[in-house]
């Protein structure tokens, strides 16, 4: 692979539906972590509920819009289940419960007990035909130069980035509303908020609900773009990817999640391609990195990246630029 091919590949991924899904997940985390100060380590759980909400509903003969409704309901139930016991307690409880709940939910979805509904380890495929049938874009390839997509990818991308834009604008508006000002005051000092009579528990629960809905939307986008759901796609690492994107872009910044997701996917897929082409060309010995290890290395890189971001770039790209300006 030449440098150009690697760059083109990375660019294609950075604006693809996957990046948009992570941007949506990161928008949700921004509402939780960036504006309210809640730590939700279970965003992968919300995403899985969104994806399976659509997939299962359609697999059982329902229309796609009913699937979206199911996704929303599941997300709300999950938020209430996690939020009501933990949000009165210190923040660590929410962090612990979300990571545990998301992973246990995933293990449950892939177990034999849930298999009649979720199809267990096999997952569900080809449930989004109705969504693609609505595609008004004529067949063919579109784009400039190396950045070309077929009509159905473009259709998904239009929806996905449309949702990202909408989400960003909604969050921007919310956080400048009176409600948002109180939410930010909860992040800064919840005792102050309580002392002036605000219902901090209620506000946190509302924030958890809203951010969770963005997480589910991310799952729906992933499910529709791949026409497949499986529990393997919602490992705990997915949440940490979304955190990495958010922290890269800028925590508590309007465009932080979207920018972070794009840059994150650019870096990640460039790293993947370089590693892969190194292995294929024999520049990196296959004793050190086999084909299967490339995916593992990406996790190692993101783990180290998260540590480095916290230590050296805690405000992210936008925060750092914004401070200088």
Partner 1 sequence: MHLGQLTPVATKPATRADSRMRPRSLAVAGGIVVAVLVAGMAVAGVGPLLQGLVDGLRLGLVIALAAIGLSLIFSTTGLVNFAHGSLVTFGAVMALYLNTMEGGPRLNLYLAALIAVCLGGIVAGFAEVAIFGPMRRANLPHLSLLVATIGLDMFGRNAILYFVGSRPRPFLAYQVQERIQIGGLSVAPRDLVMMALAVAALVGVAVMLQLTTLGRAVRAVADNGPLAEASGISTRFVYIAVWVIGGALAALGGIFHGMSEQVSWNGGFLLLLLMFAAVIVGGIGSAYGAMAGGILIGVVTQVSTLFLPSQLKNAVAMLVLILALLLRPQGLFGRKVRVG
* Residues making contact with partner 1 (CB under 8 A): 33, 37, 39, 41, 81, 84-93, 95-97, 99-101, 103-104, 107-108, 111-113, 190, 200-201, 236-237, 240, 243, 247, 293, 296-297, 299-300, 302-307, 309-311, 314
- Which CB atom, from 58 or from 97, has the smaller least distance to partner 1? 97
Shortest approach of partner 1 to residue 233 CB, angstroms? Answer: 16
Q: Measured between alpha carbons, how far is residue 321 from residues 176, 178, 180, 249, 286 in Å?
A: 21, 27, 24, 11, 41
Report the C-alpha gap between 216 and 95 in whole angstroms: 18
Shortest approach of partner 1 to residue 302 CB, angstroms? Answer: 6
Shortest approach of partner 1 to residue 38 CB, angstroms? Answer: 9
Shortest approach of partner 1 to residue 126 CB, angstroms? Answer: 27
Shortest approach of partner 1 to residue 117 CB, angstroms? Answer: 14
| SS (HEC) of the chain | CCHHHHHHHHHHHHCCHHHHHHHHHHHHHHHHHHHHCCCCCCHHHHHHHHHHHHHHHHHCCCCHHHHHHHHHHHHHHHHHHHHHHHCCCCHHHHHHHHHHHHHHHHHHHCCCCCHHHHCHHHCEECCCHHHHHCCCCCCCEEEECCEEEEHHHHHHHHHHHHHHHHHHHHHHHHHHCHHHHHHHHHHHCHHHHHHCCCCHHHHHHHHHHHHHHHHHHHHHHHHHHHCEECHHHHCHHHHHHHHHHHHHHCCCCCCHHHHHHHHHHHHHHHHHHHHHHHHHHCCCCCCCCCCCHHHHHHHHHHHHHHHHHHHHCCCHHHHHHHHHC
Check: CB of residue 114 under 8 Å from CB of residue 108: yes
- Which CB atom, from 10 or from 251, has the smaller least distance to partner 1? 251
Shortest approach of partner 1 to residue 40 CB, angstroms? Answer: 11
- Which CB atom, from 62 or from 120, has the smaller least distance to partner 1? 120
- Which CB atom, from 139 or from 323, has the smaller least distance to partner 1? 323
Closest of 34, 6, 15 to residue 252, by C-alpha: 34
- Which CB atom, from 165 or from 300, has the smaller least distance to partner 1? 300
- Which CB atom, from 229 or from 302, has the smaller least distance to partner 1? 302
Shortest approach of partner 1 to residue 243 CB, angstroms? Answer: 6
- Which CB atom, from 12 or from 106, has the smaller least distance to partner 1? 106
- Which CB atom, from 99 or from 164, has the smaller least distance to partner 1? 99
Shortest approach of partner 1 to residue 195 CB, angstroms? Answer: 14
């Amino acid at each position: 692979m030449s440098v150009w091919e690697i760059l083109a590949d990375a660019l294609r991924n950075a604006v693809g539906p996957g990046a948009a899904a992570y941007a949506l997940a990161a928008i949700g985390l921004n509402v939780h972590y960036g504006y309210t100060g809640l730590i939700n380590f279970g965003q992968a759980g919300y995403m899985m509920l969104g994806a399976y909400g659509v997939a299962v509903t359609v697999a059982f003969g329902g229309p796609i819009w009913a699937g979206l409704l199911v996704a929303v309901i599941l997300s709300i139930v999950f938020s209430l289940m996690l939020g009501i016991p933990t949000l009165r307690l210190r923040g660590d409880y929410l962090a612990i419960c979300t990571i545990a709940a998301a992973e246990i939910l995933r293990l449950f979805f892939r177990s034999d007990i849930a298999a009649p509904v979720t199809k267990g380890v096999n997952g569900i495929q080809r449930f989004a035909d109705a969504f693609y049938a609505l595609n008004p874009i004529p067949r063919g390839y579109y784009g400039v130069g190396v950045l070309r997509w077929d009509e159905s990818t473009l259709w998904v991308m239009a929806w996905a980035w449309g949702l990202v834009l909408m989400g960003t604008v909604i969050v921007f508006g919310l956080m400048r509303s009176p409600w948002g000002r109180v939410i930010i005051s909860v992040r800064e000092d919840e005792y102050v908020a309580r002392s002036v009579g605000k219902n901090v528990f209620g506000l946190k629960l509302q924030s958890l609900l809203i951010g969770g809905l963005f997480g589910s939307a991310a799952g729906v986008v992933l499910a529709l773009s791949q026409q497949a759901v499986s529990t393997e796609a919602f490992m705990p690492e997915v949440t940490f990817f979304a955190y990495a994107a958010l922290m890269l872009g800028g925590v508590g910044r309007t465009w932080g999640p979207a920018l972070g997701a794009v840059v994150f996917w650019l870096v990640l897929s460039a790293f993947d391609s370089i590693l892969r082409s190194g292995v294929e060309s024999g520049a990196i010995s296959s004793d050190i990195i086999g084909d299967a290890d490339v995916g593992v290395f990406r996790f190692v890189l993101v783990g180290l990246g998260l540590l480095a971001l916290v230590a050296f770039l805690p405000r992210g790209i936008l925060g750092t630029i914004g401070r200088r300006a």
